[in-house]
C-alpha cells in the first residue's frame, strides 16, 4: 500500500493581470522522492514553487503540501517545509552557530535541541572548527552546504531548493548532491529546480515546464526513451524549443 503523496497540485494556476504564469498544472510528489522541477527561465517554475511554499496565493486550483492546503493552511505548510534560495541566504555578519541558532529559534526549536543538533550537524559537514567563524569568511561551497543544512535543520517533511547550485563548481555540486541524497534517505522529500541537466539525471522523477504548463513528467530514463534522446539535455532542448514565450 502506497503512502499518500506529500505534494498534490491540482489545476494550480496563477495569473498576473492577463498574463498566466502558471497554467493549470497538476502533479504529485511522493514521500522521500527527489523531484526535479525543470523549465526555461520564465516558464513559471518560480511562481509554481512560491505557491507551494505558501508565499503566493493561487488564482485557481488547489494544492496540498505535507497534508495542508496552501491557501487555507499556509501557516501549517510553512511549519513543515524548508526552503533554500539560489542566493544561499545566510546572514553573512553572523557566525555559523548564530545562523543555526537563529533559524532553529524561528522554527520554535528549544535551546537544548539547537545546541545538540548543531554539534552533530557541524561534525557531519566538517565545519566543527568553524563554529564561531562569520559566514562571510567561508568559501562559497561551504556556504551552500550550510544553507542546505539550515533549510532542513528543523526536520521538515519537504525541502524546496530553488536553483541551489548556481555558480558552484562541478566537484562541489557533486558533493552537494550527496547531501541531498542523504536527506532523501532520511525521508525528507526534495523538490528542486535546476538548470543543470546532469543534475536532472540525479532526480527520481523530473517535470519539465513550458509556457506555464507541465509538458513532461516522468523518470529521467523514461523521458529519454520517450523522446529518443541520449541525455536529459536533449530532452529539455526538444521541449523548451516549442516555447512561444521568450
Q: Which residues bind other proteins (CB under 8 A)?
A: 53-57, 75, 78-79, 81, 83-94, 98, 101-103, 105-108, 151, 160
Output 74 or 125, the one with its CB closest to other proteins: 74
Q: How far is the CB of 235 from other proteins (least distance, A)?
A: 30
Output 154 or 205, the one with its CB closest to other proteins: 154
Q: How far is the CB of 220 from other proteins (least distance, A)?
A: 28
User: Contact at 8 Å (CB) between 235 and 216?
Assistant: yes
> Do the strands 34-39 and 205-210 form a parallel or antiparallel pair, or are they unpaired?
parallel
Output 89 or 119, the one with its CB closest to other proteins: 89
Q: Which residues of 197-210 are buried (b: 16+ CB within 10 A; e: fewer)?
A: bebbebbbbbbbbb
Of the candidates 53, 167, 153, which has an alpha carbon nearest to the alpha carbon of residue 99? Answer: 153
Of the candidates 130, 179, 192, 191, which has an alpha carbon nearest to the alpha carbon of residue 153? Answer: 179
Output 13 or 220, the one with its CB closest to other proteins: 13
User: Contact at 8 Å (CB) between 196 and 173?
Assistant: yes
Q: How far is the CB of 53 from other proteins (least distance, A)?
A: 5
> Do the strands 68-69 and 60-65 form a parallel or antiparallel pair, or are they unpaired?
antiparallel
Please state the separation of Cα 120 from the chain's center in Å: 23
How far is residue 146's CA from residue 136's CA, in Å, rounded to a whole number?
A: 12
Output 190 or 197, the one with its CB closest to other proteins: 190
Q: How far is the CB of 94 from other proteins (least distance, A)?
A: 6
Q: How far is the CB of 41 from other proteins (least distance, A)?
A: 17
Amino acid at each position: 500500500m502506497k503512502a499518500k503523496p506529500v505534494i498534490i497540485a491540482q489545476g494550480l494556476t496563477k495569473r498576473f493581470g492577463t498574463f498566466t504564469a502558471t497554467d493549470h498544472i497538476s502533479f504529485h510528489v511522493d514521500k522521500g522522492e527527489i523531484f526535479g522541477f525543470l523549465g526555461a527561465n520564465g516558464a513559471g517554475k518560480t511562481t509554481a514553487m512560491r505557491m507551494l511554499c505558501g508565499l503566493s496565493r493561487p488564482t485557481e486550483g488547489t494544492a496540498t503540501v505535507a497534508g495542508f492546503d496552501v491557501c487555507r493552511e499556509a501557516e501549517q505548510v510553512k511549519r513543515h517545509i524548508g526552503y533554500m534560495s539560489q542566493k544561499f541566504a545566510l546572514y553573512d555578519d553572523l557566525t555559523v552557530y548564530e545562523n543555526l541558532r537563529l533559524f532553529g529559534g524561528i522554527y520554535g526549536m528549544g535551546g537544548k535541541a539547537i545546541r545538540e543538533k548543531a554539534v552533530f550537524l557541524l561534525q557531519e559537514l566538517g565545519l566543527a572548527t568553524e563554529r564561531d567563524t562569520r559566514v562571510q569568511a567561508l568559501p562559497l561551497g561551504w556556504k551552500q552546504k550550510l544553507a542546505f543544512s539550515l533549510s532542513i535543520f528543523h526536520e521538515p517533511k519537504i525541502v524546496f531548493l530553488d536553483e541551489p547550485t548556481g555558480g558552484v563548481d562541478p566537484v562541489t555540486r557533486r558533493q552537494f548532491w550527496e547531501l541531498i541524497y542523504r536527506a532523501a534517505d532520511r525521508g525528507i522529500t526534495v523538490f528542486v529546480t535546476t538548470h543543470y541537466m546532469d543534475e536532472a539525471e540525479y532526480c527520481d522523477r523530473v517535470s519539465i515546464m513550458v509556457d506555464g504548463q507541465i509538458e513532461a513528467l516522468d523518470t529521467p530514463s523514461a523521458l529519454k526513451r520517450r523522446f529518443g534522446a541520449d541525455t536529459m539535455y536533449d530532452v529539455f532542448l526538444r521541449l523548451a524549443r516549442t516555447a512561444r514565450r521568450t
